[in-house]
A and B are shown apart, each in its own frame.
Chain A
Amino acid sequence: MADPAPRSPHALSPTRRSETLTAWALVLPALIGFVLFYALPTLRAIEISFTDWNLLRAPKFVGLANYATMLQDGKFWQGMKLSAYYVALNIPLQTVLGLFLAVAMDRLTKSLFVKSIVLLPYLLSNVLVAMMWLWMLDPLLGLVNSLIDGIGFERQPFFGGADQALLTVAAVNIWRHMGLVAMLFLAGLQNIPRNLYEAAALEGASEWQMFWRITLPLLRPVMVFVLVTSVTGSFQIFDTIAVTTNGGPQDSTRVIVYYIVQNAFSFYKMGYASAMSMTLCIAMMIYTVFQMRVMKASENDLA
């Protein structure tokens, strides 16, 4: 805005001052939320991780003792291993199935009805999804076991079997997330100019060649997004396990976040739980940076 009289450049004009005030007033509630529930807690988590604290007595500073304990704790490593194993089970299948669904929908149908069904599982809570599959996969009464029995195979314990519980949790979450992944890929697919395919078809490229040479490379930005968010999300799996297996049978599903929550809210080891959560956080950040670097997330082949 034009000022009526020129002032020294350092003094704010009344208009500028009111602009600044308005801005701070508008930002204030969000700023309070940011400080109270994100910034301070993050700093506090670091602080707590250096203490021994059960919430009843005052926290006692123990330096790096929690981190040292963690490195010696077989259950911590087991939890990390299970989480990594879970991610390795979950992500490839979820991504491939999602991609298949997206390509199929892109080619076959624009139906909103189909899209809605595909997306539905993702819109349901983890708890609901876990509950449904607990019933579907019940060893005695579940539909899946009735079908398995019906075609002459042996009934499976699913959530109740130490060797297959984590696999079952992964399958359930693939069911829940496949549609979301498909929708994200579908949006990416629709940004690929159709004339690229027409040109390729004129040159005699096969369907398969077009997929590998055009579709997949041009989906890279979406792929990075899907991989980063789904891997970090899978690493934090908790809800499904809390409803279906409670970490069992024989600790076969006690993934790292479940172990952290147990330490914090069952054993009241706040310091130890915080040390583990900081470690997990750092591991995920390293992964994110690594993934973005490797897949050159910021470059866009369409530009």
Chain B
Amino acid sequence: MNTLVSPAVADATPHRIRIFTPGRIAAWVVLAAMLVITLAPLWMVVKTALMHSADVYTESAQILPTDPTLANFKRVLGFMTGDESRALGGSGAEINFMRSLGNSLLFTSIIVVTQVSFAAMAAYAFARLRFPGRNVLFALFVGSMMVPGVVTFIPNFILIKDLGLLNTMVGMVAPFCLMQGFSVFFLRQFFLSIPRDLEEAALLDGASYTYIFTHVVLPLSITPLATIAMLTGINMWNEFFWPYLVAKDEVQQVLPVALQSFKSQTAQGQPDWTGLMAATAITVMPTILLLVVLGRRVVESVQFSGGK
């Protein structure tokens, strides 16, 4: 199954010439409504994050903040003491979002760099080199995609615990950084499409396979490497379950885990909505930024990943 976008086909003449048919107008209205429904929660997050805690009860339904303040952002980023924040009506929950932000960045970048490198190495071997057991091993790698997480997380948790790696960065990244079936599969598909002539010329010149991999194949593969790095990055930035299991400790928490525990701290009575929404807004920011900077690439990568 292959669902690559092909612009040549997309740009062909539309089969309808009329532009303002009732059907089209209706479709536009529904599409616009869906876009509003998509954006409304995000707007409410930002708006609430800019509100004073005390105003939550009176102005929660307003579309614009009446008296915007940055206090909530200061609070969650740790530029304000617990006492100061309580005085402003916050929960005084002292979650250090800067630290979690750092953890998340480290967690994500370790996995992206290692997983993509190891996947590229394995994918090249599977695509171009002959070795005994190649096909069986590749089938097993691809088969690993079919095993649902719910099966492996208990043994993996026990393994990490036995190794004494609970609450460590190594324990958090371990199951993701060495191997991910999809990354190997995806890169192998691309390597197979590189013309063999290029490598054979290098081989005749006496180049080793390692040299060909690093000097011929990798430079030709910047786009697929970037695609798989981005997909891995998005998934890992959002990963909640595994870090939640192995690194509940505050010092090691990644953003989604910190956000969840920030929310649980205020379980008594009404949550600290303005603080929570400021934290949410901070966590959303990198994704929005990614879309603004690399929009087309992100959209195409996600479509691509579905085309496996």
Contact = CB atoms under 8 A, between A and B. Distances in A.
Interface string B100-115: 0000000000000010
Interface stretch (B2-10, B66-74, B83-91): B2-10
Interface of A: 1, 16, 18-20, 22-24, 26-27, 29-34, 36-42, 44-45, 48, 55, 97, 100-101, 104-105, 107-110, 112-128, 131-136, 138, 140-143, 146-147, 150, 175, 178-180, 183-184, 186-188, 190-195, 197-198, 201, 207, 221-222, 224-226, 229, 232, 236, 238-239, 242-243, 257, 260, 264-265, 270, 273-274, 277-278, 280-281, 284-285, 288, 297, 300
A108 B303 contact: no
Interface string B4-21: 111001101111100000
B44 A136 contact: yes
Contacts, number: 319
B146 A117 contact: no
Contacts of B129: 19-20, 22-23, 26
A31 B126 CA distance: 12
Given A131-B280, A184-B306, A281 B151 contact: yes
A45 B287 CA distance: 35
Given A32-B179, A114-B31, 6 more contacts: A37-B152, A119-B298, A127-B260, A143-B61, A187-B307, A222-B3
27 contacts: A16-B130, A22-B210, A23-B125, A24-B131, A27-B126, A29-B114, A38-B144, A39-B144, A42-B155, A45-B151, A97-B34, A132-B42, A133-B41, A135-B273, A141-B56, A147-B61, A180-B306, A184-B306, A191-B4, A191-B6, A194-B9, A198-B13, A201-B16, A232-B148, A243-B260, A280-B150, A281-B148
A23 B260 CA distance: 43
A270 B118 contact: no
Nearest to B302: A183
B220 interface: no
Contact of B15 (A27, A150, A201): A201
A56 B288 CA distance: 45
B251 interface: no
A229 B197 CA distance: 38
Interface residues of B, number: 111
Contacts of B287: 120, 123-124
Contact of B150 (A44, A122, A193, A281): A281
B166 to A, nearest CB: 12
Given A37-B156, A41-B159, A190 B130 contact: no
Contacts of B174: 36-37
A42 B15 contact: no
Contact of B40 (A134, A143, A146): A143
Given A45-B151, A127-B256, A110 B10 contact: yes
B178 A143 contact: no
Contact of B149 (A222, A225, A236, A243): A236
A197 to B, nearest CB: 4
B219 interface: no
